[in-house]
Amino acid sequence: MSNIEELLPHLCEDDRANFMKAVDAIGKAFAARTSIEADPQLIANLPQVREHVLTGGEIVLDLSAALDALAGDPSISNQLIAAEVKAAEVSKIKEDTANMSRAAKMNYARERGLDRPRDDVASTMTINEHAAVLAGLSPVQRMVYARRHGLV
């Protein structure tokens, strides 16, 4: 079975527009449902898109089947699992700290390493750039900034 994108140059303008609308609709719906951006190339190769485009829109785009097929792709299912694990971790932390005092929450965070900068938001600033920012802050703000950016 050939790739739908290989056939697009041979189809009419309406079919190409249908293709773009279908890929866009599936991408937006998947992102809204899962908060994961799917590769448009992966979406373009779904059988639901192929059927919809090649019939000139006569077969209605089966959005739910397309989303299920997309979620079944190994690269995306791994991302979905990672997102579920992260959500469970956040839920557990919120549950554990719900009735704690500020001091107890801080101890909880320190014990579990939650008071350090996360790897996914690590700063790309150099120490000299941090020093320039610190120079313009009050002493209390300096301490907060230094803690937030892992400088102390």
Mind listing the pLDDT tens digit for each residue in 61-117? 888 898 888 888 888 888 888 888 988 998 999 999 999 999 999 899 888 888 776
* Lookup result for tokens 């996914």: 120
Model pTM?
0.59
The size of the chain, in residues, is: 152
Structure tokens at 61: 């785009």
Q: How confident is the model at residue 121 (pLDDT cuts 50, 70, 90)?
A: low
Domain locations in the chain? 4-72, 119-152
Q: How many CB atoms lie within 10 A of CB 152?
A: 9
pLDDT at 39 over 70: yes
Q: What is the mean pLDDT of residues 117-125?
A: 64
